[in-house]
Amino acid sequence: MRNKADVLNRAGRILRSLGIRPSKLPGGRYFFRVLSALVGDLTIKVEGLYLTGSFWHRRELWKMQEGYYEKFTMQLFKKTLAPGMVVCDIGAHIGFYSLIAARKVGSRGRVYAFEPDPRTFPYLVRNIKQNGFSELIVPVKKAVSNQEGVLRLHLDEVTGGDTSLFHRDTSGRTIEVQSIKLDDFLPNQVKVDVIKMDIEGGETVALEGMENVLKRSSDVKMFVECNPDMLHKAGSSVEDLLLKLHSLGFEVKVINDELERLEMVESSEIYAMAKNAKGPTWSVNLYCSKIQGD
């Protein structure tokens, strides 16, 4: 029997094929709020893990269930993990990467899951608990940036996946959230082994706030989303992000999820790859590893 996430996404594809986009219609956002209340929570089982989300998370849940969700990126992520590691999931969403990480690092490891969206954070906590990882995953309801304080978070009220600290062309609500620098949040003795970062354009400024952590974490690997459009809205660019990563001693490769390989490319090629990527927003993931000798 098909679950609700599957049915909703199939219905959405049919409407889009007919040129109908409810979010663009008058009252579209109200329609989504009503539909969300009627549908209720959605739960799937994937890779032995239970993931629960709301109507707003339907697209990601369906992709996870069907095995389409960043398939090659997830394969690399799993291969990078080992027992006892410390992982930071920045932009944890409902916790898929955090749960996978917790299962891999085991009882001697630790996962810090950062998610500032007050609509999504309860699902992150719920998924941690229902999979038995409360002792391994530390959920943090804060944004990771280059400053500690209060920032404005712009809510995506259509899919929920494009919520950002930087304004997008939506009429969604804006709320205040707490922000931290990773350098200030983590104890000085903690070295991080793996960082996954997907924060809709905030990646460059977040790197500015974790320079000390990255310096003392000599073999850290990072998985960083690169969304040219959102970087631009944040006052940054693909070039700025790459320059920052290189200045911190990282070699950067693009994760080609379609061809399932890592590629060394120039920034101009990243724009083209991101634009051709499958999905509602154009982006690619970067695999970043410390250059030997740094």
DSSP symbols for 130-189: HTT-TTTEEEE-SEE-SSSEEEEEE--SSSSTT-BSS--S----EEEEEEE-HHHHS-TT
Distance CA 51, CA 112 (A): 18
Local confidence band at 15 (pLDDT 50, 70, 90 cut-offs): very low
Mean pLDDT on 206-229: 96
What tokens appear for 142 in the block? Answer: 């804060």
- Predicted local confidence at residue 1, as pLDDT: 36
Local confidence band at 4 (pLDDT 50, 70, 90 cut-offs): low
Local confidence band at 111 (pLDDT 50, 70, 90 cut-offs): very high
The structure's pTM equals 0.85
Distance CA 177, CA 236 (A): 21
Best CA proximity match to 113, nearest among 104, 103, 102: 102
Mean pLDDT on 257-271: 87
- Residue 72, pLDDT above cutoff 50: yes
The string of pLDDT tens digits covering residues 82-104 is: 999 999 999 999 999 999 999 99
Of 174-178, 184-188, 273-277, which range is least confident? 273-277
Mean pLDDT on 28-32: 51
- Residue 164, pLDDT above cutoff 80: no
75's CB contacts (< 8 A; 6+ apart) are 260
User: 211: which DSSP letter?
Assistant: H
Mean pLDDT on 230-249: 93
- Predicted local confidence at residue 176, as pLDDT: 87
Distance CA 231, CA 103 (A): 32
> What's the CATH fold of domain 4-290?
Rossmann fold (3.40.50)
